[in-house]
Amino acid sequence: MFCKNNYGKPYLKNHPTISFNLSHSGDFVVCVFDNHPVGIDIEKIKIIEYISLAKKFFTKKEYNYIMKGDFRQQLDKFYDIWTLKESFIKCCGKGLSLPLNSFSVEIYGCNDIKLVTDSSSAKYTLQILEIDPEYKMSMCTLHTDITSNIIILNQNELINKYREIYTK
């Protein structure tokens, strides 16, 4: 049975040691499971007013990072930061009650991302994951390594896996 915490994050009532998170955008639904808190976010890259959104929701340092480069580089950087921030607040389980500009992510590479926050002493690991050139996806966990036990399934493969597990 699914329940929600005070901030609306779902959890499994009878399996409190299993943490999971979902996200969807465009043609993708992504899910992550772990025995530690975990968050994931995926976004289809769309032409949006990213400059005004970054000014409003990101830190000054993040905004300055985004503004370096041409239009496509800026858009990519915006979505990298957006999905990293979303994955972190989902991992924390606090949702948007934690303002996006109350913490910062510093990107040095896909596997070299630093979280800067005053609100937590926990050691979070953030990573940008490649799934499709038209999407950005990021994950956050309390594990020190996100070695991808990533399984990509289309809808038919997912249905077949479900049948394998639950029809035995």
This prediction has a pTM of: 0.87
Name the helix (H) or strand (E) containing 147. none
Name the helix (H) or strand (E) containing 114. strand 112-117
Structure tokens at 100: 């996006």
What pLDDT, on a 0 to 100 scale, did the predictor assign at position 71? 96
pLDDT tens readout for residues 54-108 = 999 999 999 999 999 999 999 999 999 999 999 999 999 887 778 899 999 999 9
The pairing of strands 125-129 and 10-12 is unpaired
Query: What is the average per-residue pLDDT within 10-28?
Result: 87
What pLDDT, on a 0 to 100 scale, did the predictor assign at position 43? 98
Amino acid found at 53:
L
Q: What is the set of domains in the chain, with CATH numbers?
A: 2-166 (3.90.470.20)
Please determine, for residue 3, whether its predicted confidence score (pLDDT) is greater than 90.
no
